[in-house]
Structure 1
Amino acid sequence: MTLRDDAERVLKEWSAPDGDQEALRLRYLEFLAAHPDGMWKPCADGHMTASALIVDTARERVLLTLHRKLNMWLQTGGHCEPEDVTLAAAALREAHEESGVAGLTLLPGGPVGLDLHHTPCAWHLDVQYVALAPEGAVPAISEESLDLRWYGYDAVAGVADESVALLMERTRARLA
């Protein structure tokens, strides 16, 4: 199974939590059908990305990264790489690379949301997961970040944009 096959499977099997997310799910599938190279950064019309919101062991805080290029507080995530065999693996790899936290695990149940956004390189069709940090996790700033900070759930909307606030709400709903 290729990464593209996995992405199509994930999107076909995923139960969107609302009508807007369902419309995005269908749009992502149409995009993949129209773009054989849609998993990769060189696709000029856009490409799939994978991200993960990292939640602490107590399930009270999330780790956000101050993205170096965008200068915004975001969840960890980014482009798929040839070594990624699944979208989930891509999200987990990106979370580890950008946070420095070893031993992250993804919350069962697949993605919690989808987010379509434009970046300096192209449109990103992001598939969003939740990663659980192990006890005693100590983050380390990567080359892609200006800073990393733990934020209480209720503080996220005050520091991050609407897409991250929505991801936080979807995460809370999944954890409930």
Structure 2
Amino acid sequence: MTLRDSALFTLRGWTARDGDQEALRSRYVAHLEAHSDGVYRQCRPDHLTAGALVVSADFDRVLLTLHAKAGRWFQFGGHCEPGDRSLADAALREAVEESGVSGLLLDPEPVHLDEHPVTFCGEPGLVHHLDVRFVAVAPPDAVPVASEESTDVRWWPVAGLPEPDTGLVHRALERLRG
């Protein structure tokens, strides 16, 4: 199964929690149906990306990266690569690469979708990332290390996040707590 086919299978089977998430799910599926390369960065102006919100084993903290190009704190994530078998694989790969934390336990079901414009994605011009987000739990002894894509990587208390929560943290913790 190709990454595109796997992404279509995942998104077609995913149940959105509200109308906004359903609208994004439908948009992502339509995008993939129209673009055989829709999971890769060369598909312009839009392409899927995959990310993971990493939470501590006790669910009290969130690990975020200070993105070097954007200058903002984000969850981990990025572009899909040819070796990725699924969006979940891409999200886990990105989280491990960018956080330096191995042994992450990733929930394979998406927790949140987000479409956002990006001005620093390769060639000049506006690109939209169609982000599929997952949640991962770090081992209790996890020590993060910043990658070349990050200025900093840091644990933040759930109640003291540096950026406004778009619903991702709430949905991720709700999923983990069952």
Question: Is the structural similarity TM-score above 0.5?
Answer: yes
Which one-letter code corresponds to 1:137 in the other structure?
A
2:112 is matched with 113
For structure 1, the 5+ residue unaligned runs are none
The Cα shift of 1:152 comes to: 1.0
2:175 is matched with 174
The Cα shift of 1:31 comes to: 0.8
Which one-letter code corresponds to 2:77 in the other structure?
G
Runs of 4+ deviating beyond 4 Å: none
Alignment counterpart, residue 160 of structure 2, candidates 134, 155, 159: 155
The Cα shift of 1:161 comes to: 4.0
The Cα shift of 1:16 comes to: 0.6
For structure 2, the 5+ residue unaligned runs are 122-126
1:136 aligns with 2:135: no
1:17-66 CA-to-partner distances (Å, cap 9, x unmatched) read: 11110111001001111112111101112110000000111111010000
- More helix per residue: 1
The Cα shift of 1:162 comes to: 4.6
1:43 aligns with 2:43: yes
1:64-101 CA-to-partner distances (Å, cap 9, x unmatched) read: 00000000000000000011011100000000000000
Which one-letter code corresponds to 1:21 in the other structure?
Q
Identity %: 54
Mapping of residues 1-176 of structure 1, within 5 Å: 1-107=1-107, 110-120=109-119, 121=121, 122-156=127-161, 159-163=162-166, 166-176=167-177
2:124 is matched with none
Aligned residue pair count: 171
Say which SS state the counterpart of residue 54 (structure 2) adopts.
Answer: strand
The Cα shift of 1:174 comes to: 1.1
Contact 2:100–2:146, Cα closer than 8 Å, also in 1: yes
Which one-letter code corresponds to 2:140 in the other structure?
E
Q: 1:50 & 1:167 partners in 2: Cα distance?
A: 14
Say which SS state the counterpart of residue 4 (structure 2) adopts.
Answer: helix
Q: 1:99 & 1:25 partners in 2: Cα distance?
A: 27
The Cα shift of 1:107 comes to: 2.4
